[in-house]
């Protein structure tokens, strides 16, 4: 789903949930707030109104708005959709400062964690514990944001697993083996680089394996990579953002440095992936127009690819030591300033139910939060089968990989992440632009990062 770094480039339905949700949140026999009981006709009740803030494209706006409308019709609680397509964090920050925050809404991970520590975000644990019909274990383990061992601010708005996506016709024409969809068969790094070279062509049609290949005149890249996705490679190589004890800068350790340098080498040594400057000249539909043969992206990209006319294939990521996938997804939270926490929790559960936002899941933008939607064939068929957004191999390359080998982005667990990353990102930019090696950049910034390290959340 959404990370703050990607708010501006995210690509951006409703079914009634069980009546048990109502009984769980209203004390069993009570009417939900907003509905007048037949015995209380002379006692007017407060009319409950909630506000739900979110970002996203027109498709996401429509689906979320429809889901909120369905909730309103089901429970008689009015919900005002607050769609904020740009400058989301700035506007929400202003609302929070002015004590006019929404009741429920999306939030980027860094702000959510720090705001929870400051008391601006509601701890959901008391609501979960008081709700006999909500089982935390029904949801994926990796989606929970916890800022202390007994403090939970919420779940990811959606799951966003990463994988290899490619133009199947291009690989077949070049005689390249199609990427595996199973983790135990994932390409090792050398195999991946060899295939990427075979798929990279200069203006004379020579691939990057040819000694006469001209890296200054590339007309087709074998691979396109967004450096934001680097943590999958780092963890695959045995590294991490921080050291295991949470006291050191993990990206400056040998395993992480090696992985990051290998990613940079795809651009400047092997010439199979476009540099940031070259990327600017590529069309948005680079796979469809055969300017790029393979790319790495999150699940959300499938929504756009489904609207393009080309033979899309998917596979697991190439590995360094261990096969994995990166799991992303900014949280939805309940703001502590809400005057109606019980009704806000009802709305929160409604929006976390895959049935409520099914068009976004079946359309490829999101992956569901509930475990059974990955294991129950009947539920899988509702979203991940028989549609263009989920091509052959998706259930293994994305669904199974997410369940078995999903590793979370640092925003889920690294304390003070926003401030640390404000130093790390410019250092890494020197690597991605070829100005410094990974070791030079990361060792160079380490003395500035070290004083900011505060460990892991929830540990």
Least Cα distance to 440 among 452, 451, 450, 429 occurs for 429
More reliable by pLDDT, 71 or 110: 71
Handedness of CA 241, 246, 249, 255 (dihedral sign): negative
Residue 449 has a pLDDT of 98
Express each pLDDT in 344-359 by its tens digit: 999 999 999 999 999 9
Residue 458 near residue 412 (C-beta atoms within 8 A): no
Please spell the DSSP secondary structure of 408-435, one letter per residue. Answer: E-GGGTBTTHHHHHHHHHHHHHHHHTTS
Q: Residue 28: pLDDT above 60?
A: no
Residue 238 near residue 255 (C-beta atoms within 8 A): yes
Q: Residue 33: pLDDT above 80?
A: no
Residue 30 has a pLDDT of 38
362-375 average pLDDT score: 96
Residue 45 pLDDT grade (very low, low, confident, very high; cuts 50, 70, 90):
low
What is the token pair recorded at 311? 């033979």
Residue 184 near residue 323 (C-beta atoms within 8 A): yes
Round to whole Å and give the CA distance between 265 and 253: 18
C-alpha distances (whole Å) from 36 to each of 16, 33, 80 are 21, 8, 20
30: left (phi over 0), alpha (psi -120 to 50) or beta: beta
Q: Residue 38: pLDDT above 80?
A: no
Parse the chain into domains and list their residue ranges: 4-159+329-370, 160-328+410-452
What is the token pair recorded at 87? 């400058």
193 φ, ψ to 5°?
-65, -40
122-149 average pLDDT score: 95
Residue 12 pLDDT grade (very low, low, confident, very high; cuts 50, 70, 90):
very low
Residue 16 has a pLDDT of 33
Residue 346 has a pLDDT of 98
Q: Residue 227: pLDDT above 70?
A: yes
C-alpha distances (whole Å) from 357 to each of 20, 58, 332 are 19, 14, 14
Percentage of residues of the chain with pLDDT beyond 90: 85
CATH-assigned architecture of domain 160-328+410-452: 3-Layer(aba) Sandwich (3.40)
Within this chain, domains 4-159+329-370 and 160-328+410-452 share the same CATH topology: yes
Residue 237 has a pLDDT of 98
129-148 average pLDDT score: 95
Q: What is the H or E stretch that residue 344 is in?
A: helix 341-352
At a CB cut-off of 8 Å and minimum separation 6, what does 374 contact?
Answer: 140, 368, 380, 399, 400, 402, 403
Average per-residue pLDDT for the chain: 90
Residue 14 has a pLDDT of 33
pTM of the model: 0.86
360-367 average pLDDT score: 96
Express each pLDDT in 291-344 by its tens digit: 999 999 999 999 999 999 999 999 999 999 999 999 999 999 999 999 999 999
What is 4-159+329-370's CATH number? 3.40.190.10
Q: Residue 136: pLDDT above 80?
A: yes
CB neighbours (10 Å) of residue 283? 10
């Amino acid at each position: 789903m959404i990370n703050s770094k990607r708010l501006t480039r995210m690509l951006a339905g409703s079914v009634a949930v069980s009546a048990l949700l109502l009984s769980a949140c209203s004390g069993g026999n009570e009417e939900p707030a907003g509905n007048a009981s037949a015995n209380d006709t002379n006692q007017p009740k407060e009319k409950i109104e909630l506000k739900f803030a979110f970002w996203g494209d027109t498709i996401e706006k429509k689906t979320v708005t429809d889901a909120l409308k369905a909730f309103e019709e089901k429970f008689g609680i009015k919900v005002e959709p607050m769609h904020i397509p740009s400058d989301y964090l700035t506007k929400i920050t202003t609302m929070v400062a002015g004590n006019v925050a929404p009741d429920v809404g999306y939030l980027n991970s860094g702000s959510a964690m720090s705001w929870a520590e400051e008391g601006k975000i509601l701890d959901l644990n008391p609501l979960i514990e008081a709700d006999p019909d909500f089982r935390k274990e029904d949801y994926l383990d990796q989606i929970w944001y916890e800022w202390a061992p007994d403090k939970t601010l919420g779940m990811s708005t959606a799951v966003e697993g990463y994988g290899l996506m490619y133009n199947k016709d291009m690989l077949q024409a070049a005689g390249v083996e199609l990427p595996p969809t199973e983790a135990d068969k994932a390409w090792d790094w050398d195999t991946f680089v060899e295939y990427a070279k075979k798929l990279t062509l200069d203006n004379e049609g020579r691939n990057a394996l040819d000694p006469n290949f001209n890296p200054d005149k590339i007309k087709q890249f074998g691979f396109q990579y967004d450096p934001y996705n680097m943590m999958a490679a780092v963890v695959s190589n045995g590294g991490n953002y921080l050291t295991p004890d949470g006291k050191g800068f993990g990206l400056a350790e040998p395993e992480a440095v090696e992985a990051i340098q290998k990613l940079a080498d795809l651009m400047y040594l092997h010439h199979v992936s476009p540099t940031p400057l070259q990327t600017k000249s590529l069309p948005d539909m680079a796979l469809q127009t055969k300017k790029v043969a393979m790319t790495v992206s999150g699940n959300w990209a499938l929504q756009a690819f489904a609207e393009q006319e080309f033979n899309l294939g998917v596979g697991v990521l190439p590995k360094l030591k261990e096969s994995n996938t990166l799991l992303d997804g900014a949280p939805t939270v309940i703001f502590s300033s809400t005057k109606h926490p019980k009704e806000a929790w009802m709305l929160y559960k409604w929006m976390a139910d895959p049935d409520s936002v099914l068009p976004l899941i079946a359309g490829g933008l999101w992956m569901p939060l509930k475990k059974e939607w990955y294991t129950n064939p009947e539920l899988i068929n509702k979203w991940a089968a028989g549609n263009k957004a989920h091509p052959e191999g998706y259930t293994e390359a994305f669904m199974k990989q997410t369940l078995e080998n999903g590793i979370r982005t640092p925003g889920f667990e690294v304390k003070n992440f926003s401030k640390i990353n404000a130093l790390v990102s410019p250092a890494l930019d020197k690597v991605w632009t070829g100005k410094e090696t990974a070791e030079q950049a990361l060792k160079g910034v380490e003395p500035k990062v070290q004083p900011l390290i505060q460990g892991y959340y929830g540990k």
